[in-house]
Amino acid sequence: MSTVLVTGGSGFIGVHTILQLLAAGHDVRTTLRNPDRSADVIAMLRQGGAAAPDKVGFVTADLLRDDGWREAAAGCDYVLHVASPLGSRVPEDENELIVPARQGTLRVLRAARDAGVKRVVVTSSFAAIGYGHSPQTEPFDETVWSNLEGPDVQAYPKSKTLAERAAWDFVAREGNGLELAVVNPTAVFGPALGPDFSESIGIIKALLDGAMPAVPRIHFGLVDVRDVADLHLRAMTSPNARGERFLAVAGEIMSVQQVGRVLREKLGSQARRVPRFQVPDWMMRLAARRNPLARAALPLLGKVRRSTSAKAQRVLGWKPRGNEEMIVATAESLIGLGLVKA
């Protein structure tokens, strides 16, 4: 089987992707900013059922530095570039997110090209597709790019859009035959394997903990992390994935309030702290004056952005799990790991 480099192996998507690569028989190498995190990665892989997690190779590399990337890519057939800075808050300087996302992607691509890697799969985001546009009834698809001149487009959508555009430009101009495919997930849920999980899962945790007395009027598309990892593997090897973007979303969008309703219906007393009521928008704006998380949520209030994964299903045979299944799996994993207050 192939040798595959996964960047950002301690991250939520990264560790699930490593799990599936190992299960498929690939040799796996992964990058970490902090080499001390290798024990955490192995522990999460064991939690996920990996038979031989200690066979994963580790290389120290940072998106902001050149060191380590040549060694990381050497001898690899494929690279899955999953590592990316995340934005749970609005930074004072948007370049805190934009620079590492864009420059880090270019570092990975240069190293892959120079090492003779066949294909790189970049983890982008729906944030590079559906932001900065006027309201529309038709679902967004892979033909659309976020409009960075649109109203209320914050640093995270900018970082994902600019990083993905930079990737396509690099491969077109300097790739020397390097192939590229891109996966654009919506909000990522699914089973946590440890304390490292997606920003989206933080929503489930906050609902179960009762950290929110009421929920904001926010809607989003959902996708299970196991299906995101599966889509990466399909995009890595399918001849039909070369030069293509694939939007990853399971089905209809949901509101935070609807997610809370699923938790109460499926988990019973374990979801007793989940709020039932929705915060008026004016109250969120008031809270945003002091709360960074509330401030980051303001551009999302009342926005309904539908999207479709018809292309991934048609071209790659991808079949995502349903919304309820992934919400319940998320909650049960948090409870089982003791990450939710009893």
Residues marked active site are found at: 160
Which pairs from 268-276 meet CB under 8 Å and 24+ separation? Answer: 270/208, 270/331, 270/335, 271/207, 271/208, 271/331, 273/207, 273/208, 273/209, 273/210, 273/341, 274/207, 274/208, 274/210, 275/207, 275/210, 275/212, 275/213, 275/214, 275/215
C-alpha 103/C-alpha 163 separation (Å) is 8
User: How many residues are recorded in the chain?
Assistant: 342
Could you tell me how far CA 323 lies from the centroid of its own chain?
16
Interacting residues of 286 by C-beta distance below 8 A, sequence separation 6+: none
φ/ψ of 133, rounded to 5, equals -105, 160
Distances (CA, A) of 34 to 9, 47, 59, 110, 173: 11, 21, 9, 22, 32
| Closest alpha carbon to 214 in 296, 128, 281 | 281
C-alpha 17/C-alpha 29 separation (Å) is 12
C-alpha 245/C-alpha 126 separation (Å) is 11
Helix, strand or coil, per DSSP, at residue 29: strand
Distances (CA, A) of 49 to 197, 331, 340: 17, 19, 22
How many other CB atoms are there within 10 angstroms of residue 235's CB atom? 28
C-alpha 123/C-alpha 13 separation (Å) is 9
How many other CB atoms are there within 10 angstroms of residue 101's CB atom? 29
C-alpha 151/C-alpha 83 separation (Å) is 27
What single letter denotes the amino acid at residue 40?
Answer: D
